[in-house]
Structure 1
Amino acid sequence: MTELKLAGNGLLIPPQYLEEVGAEPCVRRIKGGLLIESRHRSLAREQLRDLVARLRIAAEPAPPSEDEIAALVDEVRGQRARHR
């Protein structure tokens, strides 16, 4: 198998390394290197990242309502009055 080669300011990657990636690979920088993947895999990765972000938002607790805040304030005031 042909080896990878540094060529000027780039990296020469032999075609056999990219056969399964398809005709139009996606290339992007990642921490510590480059990620070369098929368009299909890249799209799936973006969709998964978006889904995880939406799930994280959905999993966050909703902020308390004004009634819940008022009840908590009353509870704290009641506790302070009992400890005096």
Structure 2
Amino acid sequence: MTDIKIEPDGLLIPPQYIDGLGPTAIVRRIKGGLIVESRDQAQAREELRALVERIRAAVKSDAPSDAEIGAIVDEARTERARRR
């Protein structure tokens, strides 16, 4: 397998590294690296991040009950289903 190379114009990623991501692969910089993912993976990651934020907001200083966490997750699932 061809190695990833740093070229004068940027990073060269061989096609076999991103096979299966589809024609809309997304490459973005993060501190200390890159994320290469499909649009579906990016959307799923963003939805998970938003869900974690909602749970953290609900927690504040007290631990949420199982019912509270379940309600937040159900609400997120309903919102996701509406967007599709």
TM-score, structure 2 normalization: 0.64
Per the alignment, in what secondary structure is the counterpart of residue 28 of structure 1?
A: strand
1:33 CA drift (Å):
0.7
Aligned to 1:9: 9
Aligned 1:1-84 pairs, distance under 5 A: 1-61=1-61
In terms of Rg, which structure is larger?
1
1:54 maps to amino acid: R
- Alpha-carbon distance in structure 1 between the residues aligned to 2:60 and 2:5: 48
CA–CA distance in 2 between the matches of 1:59 and 1:15? 43
Instruction: Give the Cα–Cα distance (whole angstroms) in 2 for the partners of residues 15 and 56 of structure 1.
Output: 39
Matched AA of 1:53: E
TM-score (norm 1): 0.64
Q: Deviations over 1:33-77 (max 9, x none)?
A: 111111111100000000000111111148xxxxxxxxxxxxxxx
Q: Secondary structure at the match of 1:23?
A: coil
* Identical residues among aligned pairs (%): 53
Aligned-partner Cα distance in 2 for 1:39–1:20: 12
Shift of 1:3: 2.3
Which structure 2 residue ranges, 5 or more long, are not aligned?
Answer: 63-84
For structure 1, list consecutive stretches of 5 or more residues without a partner in the other structure.
63-84
- Post-superposition offset of 1:30: 1.6
